[in-house]
Structure 1
Amino acid sequence: MNITRQAVKFDNHGHKIAGILRIPEDAQEKKNAALVCIHPGSSCKEQTAGIYAEKMAEQGYVTLVFDASCQGESEGEPRYAEIPSLRVEDVHCAVDYLSAQSFVDQERIGVLGVCAGGGYAVNSAMSDHRIKAVGTVAGANIGRVQRGSVDILKTMEAAGKQRTAEARGAEPMIVGWIPNNREELEQSGITDIDIVEAVDYYTTPRGKHPGSPNKLLFSSMSDMLSFDAFYMAETLLTQPLQIIVGDKQGAFGSYRDGQELYKHAASEKKDLLVLEGVSHYDLYDQPGPVARAVEQLTKFYGTNL
């Protein structure tokens, strides 16, 4: 199928979000179902969310993938901030943009998120019921992930002090999401499968991209630590829900989060697909696992959009 790819920008309350809109052939002549595709924390629109945006466009969906506010080619300050409330609003604004397109059926807009993007997809849908179907691939609750990796109160205090320092003119404190290369990984002594494969994905030609420079504004840790992507899912997440995870478990906990979300979501139509022998990062870009995920997502959105 021929797909038209357009670099687009849309507004998020005063700053511009950079995205890629994919339009399947002949879609301009009719109303189409559309998907907002949401990238992981530390990622960008050209990486795994872009892969899924391309694959779903091949299945006939209009897709929009974008860089989060303050990251990649999108505007927003401070740079490299990961602010969950802002990322959720990015998704709402992406729905605004799609709703205004003449070839999009505003009653058939869904979201599809990968890793932390999956958590943001869920949270966005709970607060915006224009979103009619929710798909997550290796979806993770970024607040839970961060709370499990640091001393919460000490980190909150340090992030607050750093924010005060920056308000008084200090240089922003930028840290890494993961080790910068395999050498740093080996020196750290970390052997967890998710972190090892994250380094392989983000810092080697496999997935490395200038829009994903492994930089995080440290002061935004307080925003992540106080965020729960699934809060009130038992009440507000009523849309059809498809969860896809691998059974190889690591530190990022997408298998665990998938089980929890499936258990608590209010959705009357919900499905949890666990792929055997598949890791978190296999679902980012490896042909076999991605193809299996896309097959399931195509069935899911075909039924629910």
Structure 2
Amino acid sequence: MNTNKEMSVGVSGWDKIFPPSDKVEHKKVSFKNRYGITLVGDLYTPKNWNGQKLAALAVCGGFGAVKEQASGFYAQTMAERGFVTLAFDPSYTGESSGEPRHVASPDINTEDFSAAVDCLGLQSFVDREKIGIIGICGWGGFALNATAIDTRIKAVATMVMYDMSRVFSQGYFDSNTPEIRREMKRSLNAVRWTDAETGTPTPGYPMPDTPSDEVPQFLNDYIEFYKTPRGFHERSVSNHVWTATTLLSFMNFPLLAYANEIDVPTLMVAGENAHSRYMSEDAYKSVETDKKELLIVPNARHTDFYDNQAGAIPFDKLESFFKENLQ
């Protein structure tokens, strides 16, 4: 059964952080994942193609972002280069359904990528044997996990990848001690009692509205993107807050445990000066396909890859990688 349809939900006009391209067609679509959650995405197609079935890409990320931000920018740009592309809002966020709002799950979010593959493969103008995915930031980890289980994905690229299970369980740069981890579990499960008693999820800690000298530089970089006109979008979770117990879903989930089973072409891109670089480097070692490449972009920070700040995003490389491997 084809569950895709054009949508009239949400904002009907252009409300993205990047300008529309006159080289592509754009429409809103919806589709369901296997949990029955309705996902909403933006489908981009090249204008004036010659009618043959095209290669396609599903795009998502970063963690807490919506399709009107980085993923949509990537999707539109790759559609300009000849691909059918789908940028989508994950379950429980943006225009997608799911209650309560602002919840993340390593399992469900991995499934979201496979559901996007479903959606693309049901389009009459898409070649099902030529579908790849791009995961940005936290969605890089989900992209690798999806590729490890979904054999329909023929190539995968990650951009400044996060392993969210590693970050939430071990802290940035693996700085959490066993005592810190035990205290996190105790405090988060105390929050569960509150949630059970009230019937309402407790919100986590919001991102600060302004940079300061009291937080790491990478957090100031996030603030500069998500909290200013550069990248602000009202539906982004980064401008609301995740539920506090979202962390529990990730703290004992081995997101990249089967990365060694990835046997399709894999491109991993990181910034030389990105705080997340170590996660790409370590994940790259875990992927055992001989068709893999780790590209370190000189001088680039993590958030430079959200909107091509200083020309950091290697779109030419992405184009050649997918054209070569989605044949």
Taking structure 1 as the reference length, the TM-score comes to 0.92
Task: Give the 3 Å change call, closer, same or farther, for CA 201–289 of structure 1 in structure 2.
Answer: same
What aligned pairs does 1:1-305 form with structure 2 within 5 A after superposition?
Answer: 2-12=23-33, 13-27=35-49, 29-146=51-168, 147-149=170-172, 151-176=180-205, 178-179=207-208, 181-182=209-210, 185-186=211-212, 189-190=214-215, 192-212=216-236, 213-234=239-260, 236-250=261-275, 253=276, 255-291=277-313, 293-305=314-326
Counterpart Cα distance in 2 of 1:177 and 1:240: 37
Letter in 2 for 1:204: T
Whether the 8 Å contact between 1:176 and 1:214 is mirrored in structure 2 is no
Counterpart Cα distance in 1 of 2:306 and 2:72: 10
Task: Give the 3 Å change call, closer, same or farther, for CA 278–290 of structure 1 in structure 2.
Answer: closer
Whether the 8 Å contact between 1:155 and 1:222 is mirrored in structure 2 is no
Counterpart Cα distance in 1 of 2:320 and 2:119: 25
SS at match of 2:41: strand
Identify which of structures 1 and 2 has the higher relative contact order when contacts are C-alpha pairs closer than 8 Å and 6+ apart: 1
Task: Give the 3 Å change call, closer, same or farther, for CA 289–231 of structure 1 in structure 2.
Answer: farther
Partner deviation per Cα, 1:210-251 (whole Å, 9 max, x = no partner): 1112310111110122233321212x111100011111042x
SS at match of 1:130: coil
| Greater fraction of residues in helix | 1
* Paired-residue identity, %: 32
Gaps of 5+ in 2: 1-21
Shift of 1:171: 2.8
Whether the 8 Å contact between 1:42 and 1:177 is mirrored in structure 2 is no
User: 2:6 maps to which residue?
Assistant: none
- How many matched pairs? 295
Counterpart Cα distance in 1 of 2:44 and 2:192: 38
Counterpart Cα distance in 1 of 2:127 and 2:205: 40
Gaps of 5+ in 1: none
Whether the 8 Å contact between 2:207 and 2:241 is mirrored in structure 1 is no
Counterpart Cα distance in 2 of 1:275 and 1:27: 32
Task: Give the 3 Å change call, closer, same or farther, for CA 224–45 of structure 1 in structure 2.
Answer: same
RMSD (Å), alpha carbons: 1.7
Partner deviation per Cα, 1:156-194 (whole Å, 9 max, x = no partner): 232233234323334321123532x11xx42x701x232
Counterpart Cα distance in 2 of 1:227 and 1:5: 36
